[in-house]
Structure 1
């Protein structure tokens, strides 16, 4: 499990570590890991030009000590000092190793090979001061390695307010931070590299499933399994106007993770579903329902009928408009616009503060809420949050959410908790999209077709 902690968590763990380690040991570990990551990025150190953007905090000290290590290996290292107060020992080490420092960018080499962003530490506020923002703007186009977190981001919130650094690589220390996993800040972090400092950390603020976690959670039939014991999922979706939504939701549900899929809808749509998926049957007992994709004016009735069965329900698309009371045991799957409509918020604010909004929605509706996005967030009413880091931009395509709803419903019917079903479903959905796209365009139907192969690969590679 990839775990991301808050600033307070990290500081508490660092203080405990510093009490048992020699003075400066944590910074030296961080600097060594940072320097090694820069060498890997550049393919070597000798002859490379490295520019450090140095602020007043410990991240500036990390950058200076890493710069000293790079200079000792033959790199040409310069530091732009962006604060009156600078980490004195780190600056002295850089100069001893042959590096130089200045307070004006014009006094330094104009074409570095890489920039190390040590402007602000994890305690910094969102945004950059004007002088730092100008320096970052003037260096546009140069690869950037962020020290711990790109400067200017909301570290505990993932929010962005004002100018900030966009990194190609973020080298973080001890643990991942919330900003690494939560949009919109996650898009500014680039690739992530964790340097282990041996910190003793408690529960994480945000988690991200890894392949081994998914493998452990995936439902697998036992030797005595039969179709009913493996779970039955029902789908109430589609309409004469949107029959394709039913086909896609059924495709997401009918990926082999349960023993049976039932479809209930208009006869004209049901006929098309049976042609595309002959193994799908009609109404009957289920362990979970998927409701809403393409439901149109029928969505309210679909939701009421599904809730009457008193089983877990995935509520998607048109059915979300009819959620007017807490739904314990349900999974709501809105995108930002749908969540905004449900909570009387502005869509732009949901997109700017997705973590805050998804947590509040989970508390308000008393159930798991899956907020779709670049990094989909799954929130439980108890405050837990998981971020999905699989997927590609090509996944932003019509019908992809219908497939996801069906997949999550199947996992619910197979026995996963709502939180795990939503998290695993989102991970599989993103992984299937990545494989199906293969670097190019993608349609929702191809995502559904790819899901069984992703499941097989996950089980085989880690089994």
Structure 2
């Protein structure tokens, strides 16, 4: 089952539910602290450790971790920023029999530091000596392991409160990832995230998930034994004019690699020759007007429009014509920008089976001000999906996919090697290829984004967009073995 991503409030509720069901808070704290100690031991060799403990339950986890590390022979010192203020933290502190000293603003080099000052529930900027320590730690590049989240990082946005927060090499959190662990700013502060099971119950109804194969692999459209090309779906891609045809061909090849049985590039007459010179398994068909385009696409299961299609009235009319065919639409790039002055006309073309794939700049054109007004990208993408009545994939290192019904996922396997021209066109093709085969659009967008990132990571440095379709088969082979 795919892992849910929780807000701070949802995690607090899970803790309280466990206590209400009979698990004492001290037991949960003991499990959490031991999990921190185990994660440290698994990653690092034995060495001097300083644990910074705050006043609340996060600090309590730190005292427990100190005890477990010391029991294993690690040299451990606790530096207490404050006296414990919660019953559980006082209990944990009373069981720690090692050294406790005041928080030092001059940390010694060569030590490993565990940040158990404040967890994800912090609601104000770091102050006084803690803020000064955070600045010193950043300047000295200290090796830090954070408990729950690095102190000073907002658990629901991943952003720093005020002007400073701790940054960690590794963060140990409990039960499920929080938003700070998956959004790009928080991921930069958290480092490697280890999720420890401390025995909390099921999350219950949830609508935000890690974008992982467990979320969608059970509905992946593998071909049946008696499959033929027409049963595997018909994908069509709208080409731009002769000098801007490459993006459509990238999308078409991406769709073909993801399994669409019959893929066709729909081309303006002036671009037929250049497209024909570059296409092999992908078919080619002409159109001169939006009416012609609708006829050419009338048997399509999915149509991609936007990659280098040209910004303007002609592309807008083409999208409106395609909307009347009943095919699922993957709307990207120029097709989005073509409606920047008439957003209602765009939304009128869409339904829940369609997918919009904007990068942040295109998102701003179609949903002006929404990113800036939202606390984080997930909220913005969800509101965009609600307004559009379609699936929205907001690109980025933490790509968010949101459906009109409120479901959302966040990509965790993103890679910077995908930051290259044409990469997004292949992504549109991956998604279109899956939808053409009958995969539900939200899940297809999630799967396409994950496979796209896996391909990028597999290639690594030197990646160009043309490489991506050819990397898909090895990723698909591994997924097929896990089905």
TM-score normalised by structure 1 residue count:
0.92
Measured against aligned partners, the alpha-carbon deviations of 1:399-430 in whole angstroms (never above 9, x if no partner) come to 11111011111111111111111101101100
What's the CA shift string for 1:159-204, capped at 9, x where partnerless? 4443222221111112221221223222222111111122122133
Aligned position for 1:102 = 102
TM-superposed deviation, 1:346:
7.7
Shift of 1:431: 0.6
Partner of 2:401: 378
Equivalent position of 1:442 in the other structure: 463
Q: After superposing the two structures, state which structure 1 stretch, 164-173 or 147-156, moved more.
A: 147-156
Relative distance call for 1:164 and 1:203 in structure 2 (3 A) is farther
Q: Hey, what does 2:19 align to over in structure 1? A: 18
419-428 vs 180-189, which moves further: 180-189
Corresponding position of 1:147: 147
Q: Does 1:236 align with 2:238?
A: yes
Count of aligned residue pairs for this structure pair: 452
Please state whether the residue corresponding to 2:221 is helix, strand or coil.
coil
State the alpha-carbon separation in 2 of the partners of residues 5 and 455 from structure 1.
Answer: 29
Residues 320-377 of structure 1 show CA distances to partners (whole Å, capped at 9, x for unaligned) of: 1244233212111001111112122287x38973122111111111111000000100
Alpha-carbon distance in 1 for matches of 2:124, 2:441: 34
Q: Give the alignment partner of residue 364 of structure 2, picking from 340, 349, 354.
A: 340
Gaps of 5+ in 2: 286-295
Give the corresponding residue for 1:185.
Answer: 186
Q: CA deviation at 1:317?
A: 0.2
Query: Which residue of the partner structure matches residue 361 of structure 1?
Result: 384
Q: Which moved more, 1:219-228 or 1:25-34?
A: 219-228
Q: Which of 418, 423, 432 is 1:409 aligned to?
A: 432
Structure 1 residue 396 displacement after superposition: 1.0
Distance 2:246 2:161 in 1: 40
* Aligned-pair CA distance for 1:21: 2.2
Match of 1:29 in 2: 31
- TM-superposition CA deviations, 1:295-318 (whole Å, max 9, x none): 113422331232121221010001
CA distance in 2 between partners of 1:138 and 1:421 (Å) = 45
Q: How big is the shift at 1:85?
A: 4.2
Q: Distance in 2 between matches of 1:142 and 1:455?
A: 40
Distance 1:425 1:335, change over 3 A: same
Change (3 A) 1:60 1:205: farther
Cα drift, residue 84 of structure 1: 4.7
1:389-404 alignment to 2 at 5 Å? 389-404=412-427
Which residue does the alignment assign to 2:472?
451
**What is aligned with 1:69?**
68
Q: Any idea what SS the aligned residue of 2:337 has?
A: helix
1:171–1:211 distance in 2 versus 1, CA, 3 Å: same
With over 3 angstroms needed to count, the CA separation of the structure-2 counterparts of 1:218 and 1:346, relative to structure 1, is: closer
Find the residue that maps to 1:14 and give its secondary structure.
helix
Counterpart of 1:133 in structure 2 is: 131
Contact 1:159 1:352 in 2 (8 A): no
Contact 1:127 1:151 (C-alpha < 8 Å) held by counterparts: no
Q: Which residue of 2 aligns with 1:215?
A: 217
- More displaced stretch, 214-223 vs 364-373: 214-223
Which structure 1 residue ranges, 5 or more long, are not aligned? Answer: none
- How far does residue 22 in structure 1 lie from its aligned partner after superposition? 4.2
| Structure 2 residue corresponding to 1:279, chosen from 264, 278, 281 | 281
Q: 1:450 to 1:350 in 2, by over 3 A?
A: farther
- Which residue in 2 is equivalent to 1:421? 444
Q: CA deviation at 1:391?
A: 2.8
Going from structure 1 to structure 2, the CA distance change for 1:203 and 1:186 (only over 3 Å counts) comes to: farther
* Partner secondary structure for residue 111 of structure 1: coil
Task: Give how far 1:16 is off.
Answer: 2.3
Aligned-partner SS, 1:150: coil
Structure 1 pair 419–102 and aligned structure 2 pair: CA distance change class (3 A):
same
Which whole-Å CA distance do the structure 2 matches of 1:170 and 1:81 have between them? Answer: 20
Give the secondary structure class of the aligned counterpart of 1:34.
helix
Does residue 53 of structure 1 match 2:52?
A: yes
Q: Distance in 1 between matches of 2:116 and 2:195?
A: 16
Query: Secondary structure of the residue that 1:362 maps to in structure 2?
Result: helix
The answer for the alignment partner of 1:157 in structure 2 is 157
Per-residue deviation, 1:213? 4.1
Cα RMSD for the two superposed structures: 2.1
TM-score of the superposed pair, with normalisation by structure 2:
0.88
**Aligned equivalents of 2:399 and 2:466: distance in 1?**
20
Contact 1:246/1:269 (CA < 8 Å) preserved in 2?
no
Partner Cα separation in structure 1 for residue 120 and residue 391 of structure 2: 30
Deviations 1:16-44 (A, max 9, x none): 2223124511000111111010111212x
